[in-house]
Structure 1
């Protein structure tokens, strides 16, 4: 089995995406203080698509793949995720639960693309999910069941969107993001009108504060354009099993950011969970070195055992 490692430049790019998306949970939490979830999604998608669709060409792919990408990666993922936080799931915990998409992504990639992960990558992912298990064992009563279910649905939507990403030959990763948001925008406007109603929509838009505007700017131009543009490039450049484990670091940023900016508690168990998550990722990244070490140990046995 061929082992693929990231270049140093692409490693830094992946870590930048982790930082951007980890802090995005704080921006979502702030935005939901004044906007209902589906309206916040619609505003995000609209600003992410317009006017950029008039500048960036449509990706070269059948329309069904672009529609699938837009609906799963944006409309469904963020519709579910924003609703989960709206129903009481904390930003830090939401950033963690969403990482179940790692298992979904690797499984779907194997099912549809025969993108088979190595045993070492599977082992590294299991190390990381010890950290997730630590968090699950400390879930408090403040976490609602519906919020947990919605976040799991968001995770599956993100994983499905990753499969469509690999099907689309975009001229640039950013063009795929922009056109994907264009697909999601009218869908989410319709959902917002049906579920939240025009009265709540108008009231939210008329009474928006500057801090909500800053949160929306972050989710649109930093999280969406920078984050998903870079992510699309990485997913198309490397096997899914190489890129997806990086998202396991997002909860670390989410926990620390929520503690610093929102006053969310950061007890010792969260730090232990973060160490396991990072340890699993490092194990994935050093797969090539681990294989070399095992080969050396096997070939060059000590004299006493010859």
Structure 2
């Protein structure tokens, strides 16, 4: 991979890792579902003019993808981040969507994987269990549960997304934003009473977090990711994204006061190690088999 593209990958990693920190600060003032709704409302403003209509018969799948990822994944993941009180454990547990996606692709799409991938999946899930016994996590167990459910919805949305045709990344982001805003605001009105009314007193820190999530994390981060997967195999790009939780942990230690314990670090290493092996196996499968010299 050229140095230019490695720099772009590092920008993506920094954008997505920084989203944990800026969102955590913003949610000191804005409730999680309302924050997610604001993120998508801001994102919908520029993208609504560029969305493409899906192919005939794909509306149900597209709506399901938008609700799984936009409403359920992001809404629950920000709620988990708010409850956690740290950045490290949510950033690591989120990566469990990778083995979940592999298992769902096996059950729903009939995709097969070798025993090494199966072992990597088992190691990742075992790492979540080890991480769950860290005192920092045990103190807020609901955060771990919600993040796992959030990762599961992301895995379901990812598998369903494989059946979408003819939609570029901006159309997918635009439709996700448009379909997610009203459900998120409705959930916020039901579960977070007074949240919408309090927006007038939100400081620049809260608004900066929402703007960062919409334009830096979503628009810039996913836009650059789309550019790179057009140039390189997805399996070559995804292992670099394992730096996101590593950078998020660093930001948490530097600016949020995180103090990861040994169980969290060990469990995190198991989760990320399993995900890394899955990514390497996917890369090996994506490489063309050299032609034989014999007929």
State the TM-score bracket (shorter-chain normalisation). Answer: 0.7 to 0.9
Tell me, yes or no, if the aligned pair for 2:92 and 2:271 is still in contact at 8 Å: no
Picking from 217, 222, 231, the partner of 2:211 is 217
Picking from 53, 61, 67, the partner of 1:65 is 61
Tell me, yes or no, if the aligned pair for 1:102 and 1:244 is still in contact at 8 Å: no
Q: What is the rounded CA distance, in whole Å, between the counterparts of 1:191 and 1:207 in structure 2?
A: 21
Q: Map 1:9-20 to 2 at 5 A.
A: 16-20=11-15
What residue is the counterpart of 2:221 in the other structure? 227
What residue is the counterpart of 2:162 in the other structure? 166
Q: What is the rounded CA distance, in whole Å, between the counterparts of 1:196 and 1:276 in structure 2?
A: 36
Unpaired segments of 5 or more residues in structure 2?
286-295
TM-score by length of 2: 0.79
Q: What is the rounded CA distance, in whole Å, between the counterparts of 2:261 and 2:272 in structure 1?
A: 17
Q: Deviations over 1:186-242 (max 9, x none)?
A: 111111122223x43122x11121122221121101211233445567789999887
Q: Which stretch shifts more, 264-273 or 247-256?
A: 264-273
The 1:192/1:133 distance shift into structure 2, 3 A limit, reads closer
What residue is the counterpart of 1:176 in the other structure? 172
Q: What is the rounded CA distance, in whole Å, between the counterparts of 1:289 and 1:218 in structure 2?
A: 31
What residue is the counterpart of 1:114 in the other structure? 110
- The root-mean-square deviation of aligned C-alpha atoms, in Å, is 3.6
TM-score by length of 1: 0.77
Q: What is the rounded CA distance, in whole Å, between the counterparts of 2:93 and 2:268 in structure 1?
A: 13
By how many angstroms is 1:42 displaced?
0.8
Q: Deviations over 1:92-136 (max 9, x none)?
A: 111112222122111111122223233333445556666555533
Q: Map 1:285-304 to 2 at 5 A.
A: none
Residues matched between the structures, number: 284
Tell me, yes or no, if the aligned pair for 1:38 and 1:82 is still in contact at 8 Å: yes
The 1:290/1:226 distance shift into structure 2, 3 A limit, reads closer
Q: Does 1:22 align with 2:17?
A: yes
Bigger-Rg structure (1/2): 1
Q: What is the rounded CA distance, in whole Å, between the counterparts of 2:122 and 2:16 in structure 1?
A: 22
Tell me, yes or no, if the aligned pair for 2:15 and 2:216 is still in contact at 8 Å: yes
Tell me, yes or no, if the aligned pair for 2:127 and 2:270 is still in contact at 8 Å: yes
The 1:238/1:156 distance shift into structure 2, 3 A limit, reads farther
By how many angstroms is 1:183 displaced?
0.7
What residue is the counterpart of 2:77 in the other structure? 81
Unpaired segments of 5 or more residues in structure 1?
1-5, 292-306
Tell me, yes or no, if the aligned pair for 2:189 and 2:195 is still in contact at 8 Å: no
